[in-house]
């Protein structure tokens, strides 16, 4: 039982949308296929993943630095003790040989993406959907039956009118979502507040609406938005400022009475630990949004959960960023708060595929073995070609 | 006046040495050449740099992500107001378009390496060595005449005997160096202390010897070494633990009476700021070792200096890691404490080239325009071929 090939390709996300800081027209992500010598139904068993959204592809790092380490390793070093399945933690250990301390962002994305693909393999070897495997290993066997989901939407788009935004949001509600998130900071404050007021009427109140500044505010603007947003009782205010400006987060948490969110730009457990030590983040209120493939993978995410717990934050504080199907399994298997959904905005990576249905703000779970990319047709056609399986 | 091509190649460092955590046999670095349409002596003016030591090459990031941004930019956007020279800060601004917040390590190395190459261009356009340009722009015209230097040496090597280590160190002393650094943590504590005792006799006391654990210690081992090293009065104890474990640095600084060192694994000013806010680092005692090409370049280093100063650390606390000729210019031009020298350990990247002489612990400065890689023959032959100039 061994990995025989690792293939990757970079795929454009094909989006002209904007957040508070930039547009996404050059954004892409890496798709990876880990091909094994295990044969199922006459074809080699393959694990798949992609590196979520927002940090560009990591193809060269996979191809030149991390895949060669996995392929050069003693195959037994990548298996569990019984030798009957792959072991994602051991794969990470192999990938981190001869790597320096600190500077995690340099490598946490390719390592995390490969780790996710190996989890896809692990679950396929067990013949079960990934969330059930994760529940057994890390959550006492308890998996969510359905998963609370919310839509990451409300981007700024060229020529967008208030009616366009309302139409977008109505579409999410019609599709079964109950909570949505919208971008802020791409317009002057007064216009942003108007946008939000329109959306509040549509979704029926602040607890169904979060806002996301994508780290776009300096100190003055962060406080101005915090003051203007406070009366609205929104679900959370995400990334108001530099994600590593612990001191400013602390000050904001002292004046803003509702939830703050941060974490999608953390490179793993050490950055989360420092953030929780120094930022004044408030247990039971603020939300943590680490994205597994962007931060060393699911094993590191489980370490993040333990760190969060030591600082008073339980699974109800955990809202993984992006990742679509990957995050859906993590939320279901580890019993977390909710999963973000990018429904139609990121090309072939959009949505949860044809096995998942959304109703009344909750998503059902895929029952295919593994992550279930095989049932997400546009993405699967790229993955299938990459792996050379049909 | 414009950049017409950017070329890069990855070059192996060719070292079998070990620190406390790993050997360097797969280590490499990127060499970059920025070719312009400015003609000097019948050849296009080119800027050169490499990404220092210890973090692997960043060739794909340069080739696929950052060089294309520079080449696609309006040429005027990369020049100073007068349009008579390149502007490294504007080049960084262009490279950081559409880049996310946080996760600096993902990109600070390719950006820093290109920024250094653009500084090489700036100084060549002015027809002066880089340190003089830096002194004028950032240090009131004051440059060092000669630069205090110390050797980063004392690695663990396969089959190394105590006599080998002594021979290595005697070589540095014979070459004019007075202060050296040696690795610790690659052997049990008692054996490491023996190594250090031998070296102390050779160099003539603790202030001429620093030790470097390369982040290899957990909490227990960090305290054991701190206790054993305290009576020796060493120049500094570098990277005893995880560079981002601020809480452990704080505890160590409360028990270890001599200087601690950290910074070569920082990804820029934000990480330095957080470290100084929370680690208990002691102004006037501890030393800061940010490496310019590994951390967004010289412009970011100047921001780091301002941050350090706000926390009570003056230029006398600043010891840039690695970089050889690049760090030499930075130390001379900004009036910093001392420069690290890797004299013969990193293949063609070793040493300061034929313009620089070392005597009584100080290095003279190159007088070639720019950084002066043209007078470092083995490295120059790679750079020259890369740029296609002769």
Q: Do B103 and A278 touch (CB under 8 A)?
A: no
Compute the nearest-CA separation of B103 from chain A (Å): 5
What pLDDT, on the 0 to 100 scale, is given for residue B147?
98
Q: Are strands B209-212 and B180-183 parallel, antiparallel or unpaired?
A: parallel
Could you give the ipTM of this predicted complex? 0.95
- For the domain spanning B138-371, the CATH number is 3.20.20.120
Q: How far apart are the first and last CA of chain B?
A: 21
**DSSP state letter for A293:** G
User: Residue A212 phi/psi, 5° resolution?
Assistant: -135, 115
Of A22, A55, A274, the CB nearest to B244: A274
What pLDDT, on the 0 to 100 scale, is given for residue B30?
96
What pLDDT, on the 0 to 100 scale, is given for residue B112?
98
Q: Do B277 and A97 touch (CB under 8 A)?
A: no
pLDDT band at B21 (very low <50, low <70, confident <90, very high): confident
Cα–Cα dist B365/B135, whole Å: 13
Average pLDDT over chain B reads: 96
Compute the nearest-CA separation of A200 from chain B (Å): 28
Average pLDDT over residues B324-353: 95
Q: Which residues of B touch A61 (CB under 8 A)?
A: 60
Q: Which of A29, A26, A28, A30 is nearest to A16 (CA)?
A: A26
Spell out the residues 6+ positions from residue B337 whose beta carbon is closer than 8 angstroms to its own: B148, B287, B315, B316, B317, B318, B319, B331
Average pLDDT over residues B211-221: 97
Does an H or E element contain A121, and which?
helix A108-126
What pLDDT, on the 0 to 100 scale, is given for residue B251?
98
Q: Is the distance from CB of A245 to CB of A271 less than 8 angstroms? A: no
Q: What is the pLDDT along chain A (390 residues), one digit of tens a residue?
A: 999 999 999 999 877 888 888 888 888 999 999 999 999 989 999 999 999 988 899 999 999 999 999 999 999 999 999 999 999 999 999 999 999 999 999 999 999 999 999 999 999 999 999 999 999 999 999 999 999 999 999 999 988 988 899 999 999 999 999 999 999 999 999 999 999 999 999 999 999 999 999 999 999 999 999 999 999 999 999 999 999 999 999 999 999 999 999 999 999 999 999 999 999 999 999 999 999 999 999 999 999 999 999 999 999 999 999 999 999 999 999 999 999 999 988 889 999 999 999 999 999 999 999 999 999 999 999 999 999 986
What pLDDT, on the 0 to 100 scale, is given for residue A120?
98
Q: Which CATH number fits domain B3-127+378-387: 3.30.390.10, 3.40.640.10, 3.40.50.880, 3.40.50.10490?
A: 3.30.390.10
For B68-104, how does the pLDDT look when each residue is reduced to its tens digit (9 = 90+)?
999 999 999 999 999 999 999 999 999 999 999 999 9
Domain ranges of chain B: 3-127+378-387, 138-371
Q: Are strands A287-288 and B287-288 parallel, antiparallel or unpaired?
A: unpaired
What pLDDT, on the 0 to 100 scale, is given for residue A169?
96
Q: Which residues of A touch B104 (CB under 8 A)?
A: 105
What pLDDT, on the 0 to 100 scale, is given for residue B25?
82
Tokens of B364: 């003279």
Q: Which residue of A has its CA nearest to B19?
A: A98
Q: Which residues of B touch A106 (CB under 8 A)?
A: 55, 105-106, 109, 267
* CATH level 2 (architecture), domain A138-373: Alpha-Beta Barrel (3.20)
CATH T-level assignment (fold) for domain A3-127+379-387: Enolase-like; domain 1 (3.30.390)
What pLDDT, on the 0 to 100 scale, is given for residue B230?
98
| Range name among A256-260, B31-35, B38-42, B108-112 with the lowest pLDDT average | B38-42
Q: Do B247 and A271 touch (CB under 8 A)?
A: no
Q: Which residue of A has its CA nearest to B65?
A: A56
Alpha helix segments (H runs only) across chain B: 59-61, 67-72, 88-95, 108-126, 130-138, 162-174, 189-203, 219-229, 246-255, 269-278, 298-310, 325-334, 377-387
Q: Does A321 participate in catalysis according to the annotation?
A: yes
What pLDDT, on the 0 to 100 scale, is given for residue B162?
84
What pLDDT, on the 0 to 100 scale, is given for residue A15?
79
Q: Does A183 participate in catalysis according to the annotation?
A: yes
For B250-268, how does the pLDDT look when each residue is reduced to its tens digit (9 = 90+)?
999 999 999 999 999 999 9
What pLDDT, on the 0 to 100 scale, is given for residue A81?
97
CA distances from B14 to A137, B109, B344 (A): 43, 20, 11
Q: Which residue of A has its CA nearest to B106?
A: A106
What pLDDT, on the 0 to 100 scale, is given for residue B55?
87
């Amino acid at each position: 039982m061994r990995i025989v090939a690792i293939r990757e390709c970079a795929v454009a996300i094909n989006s002209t949308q904007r957040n508070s800081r930039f547009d996404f027209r050059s954004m892409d992500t890496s798709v990876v296929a880990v091909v094994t010598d295990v044969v199922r139904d006459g074809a080699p068993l393959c694990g798949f993943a992609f590196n979520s959204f927002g940090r560009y592809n990591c193809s060269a790092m996979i191809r030149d630095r991390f895949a060669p380490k996995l392929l050069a390793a003693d195959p037994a070093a990548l298996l569990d003790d019984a030798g009957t399945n792959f072991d994602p933690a051991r794969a990470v250990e192999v990938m981190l040989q001869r790597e320096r301390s600190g500077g995690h962002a340099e490598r946490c994305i390719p390592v995390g993406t490969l780790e996710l693909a190996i989890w896809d393999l692990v679950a396929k070897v067990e013949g079960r959907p990934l969330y059930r495997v994760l529940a057994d290993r890390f959550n006492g066997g308890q998996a969510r039956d359905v998963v609370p989901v919310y839509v990451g939407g409300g981007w700024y788009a060229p020529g967008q009118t208030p009616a366009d935004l309302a139409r977008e949001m109505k579409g999410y509600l019609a599709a079964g979502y109950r909570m949505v998130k919208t971008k802020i900071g791409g317009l002057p404050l007064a216009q942003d507040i108007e946008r939000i007021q329109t959306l509040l009427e549509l979704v029926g109140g602040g607890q169904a609406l979060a806002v996301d500044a994508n780290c776009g505010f300096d100190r003055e603007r962060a406080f101005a938005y915090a003051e203007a947003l406070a009366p609205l009782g929104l679900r959370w205010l995400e990334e108001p400022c530099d994600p590593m400006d612990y001191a400013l987060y602390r000050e904001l948490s002292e004046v803003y009475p509702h939830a703050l969110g941060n974490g999608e730009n953390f490179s793993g457990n050490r950055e989360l630990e420092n953030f929780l030590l120094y930022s004044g983040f408030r247990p039971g209120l603020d939300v943590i949004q680490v994205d597994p493939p962007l931060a060393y993978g699911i094993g590191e995410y489980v370490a993040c959960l333990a760190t969060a717990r030591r600082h008073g934050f339980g699974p109800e504080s955990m809202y993984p960023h992006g990742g679509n199907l990957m995050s859906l399994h993590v939320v279901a298997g580890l019993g977390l708060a909710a999963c973000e959904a990018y429904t139609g905005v990121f090309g072939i990576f959009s949505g949860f595929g044809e096995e998942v249905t959304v109703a009344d703000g909750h998503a059902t779970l895929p029952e295919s073995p593994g992550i279930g990319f095989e049932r997400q047709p546009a993405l699967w056609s790229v993955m299938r070609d990459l792996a050379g399986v049909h």
